[in-house]
Amino acid sequence: MIRKLLPHPHLTLLLTVVWLLLANSYTMNSLVFGVIMGLVIPWVTAPYWPDRPVIRRFPKIVEYVLIVLWDIIVSNLVVAKIVLFMPKSKLQPAWVTVPLDLVEPESITVLAGTITMTPGTLTAEIAADGHSLLVHCLHAPDPDGVRDDIKARYERRLKEIFE
Partner 1 sequence: MELFWEILISALLVIGGFFGLVGSFGLVKLPDPMTRLHAPTKAATLGVGAVLIASMIWFGVFKDDLTLHELMITIFLFLTAPISAHFIAKANIFKDWPSDKLPRPHGEGEWAVHQADADTSAEELEEAEEARKG
Residues that bind partner 1 (CB under 8 A): 18, 21-22, 24, 51, 53, 72-73, 75-76, 79-80, 83-84, 88, 91, 93, 95-97, 99-100, 103-105, 108, 112-113, 116-117, 120, 122-132, 134, 136, 138, 163
User: Does residue 97 sit in helix, strand or coil?
Assistant: strand
Q: In the complex, what is the shortest distance from the CB of residue 39 to partner 1, in angstroms, rounded to a whole number? A: 21
Q: How far is the CB of 151 from partner 1 (least distance, A)?
A: 12
Report, in Å, the least distance between residue 76 CB and partner 1.
Answer: 4
Q: Which CB atom, from 41 or from 100, has the smaller least distance to partner 1? A: 100
- Reported for 7-14, long-range contacts at CB under 8 A and 24+ positions apart, including other chains, are 7/42, 7/43, 7/46, 7/52, 8/42, 8/46, 8/52, 10/55, 10/58, 11/38, 11/41, 11/42, 12/38, 12/39, 12/42, 13/38, 14/38
State the minimum distance, in angstroms, from the CB of residue 8 to partner 1. Answer: 16
Beta carbon of residue 31, minimum distance to partner 1 (angstroms, whole number): 15
Return the number of the residue (63 or 105) whose C-beta is nearest partner 1: 105
By C-beta, is 9 or 53 nearer to partner 1?
53
Question: Could you give the CA distance from residue 154 to residue 163 in angstroms, rounded to a whole number?
Answer: 14
> Phi and psi for 103 in degrees, rounded to 5?
-115, -25
| Cβ distance to partner 1 smaller for residue 5 or 91 | 91
If the CB atoms of residues 108 and 150 are measured against partner 1, the closer one turns out to be 108
Please, is 66 exposed, middle or buried when counting C-beta atoms within 10 Å of its C-beta (0-12, 13-18, 19+)? exposed
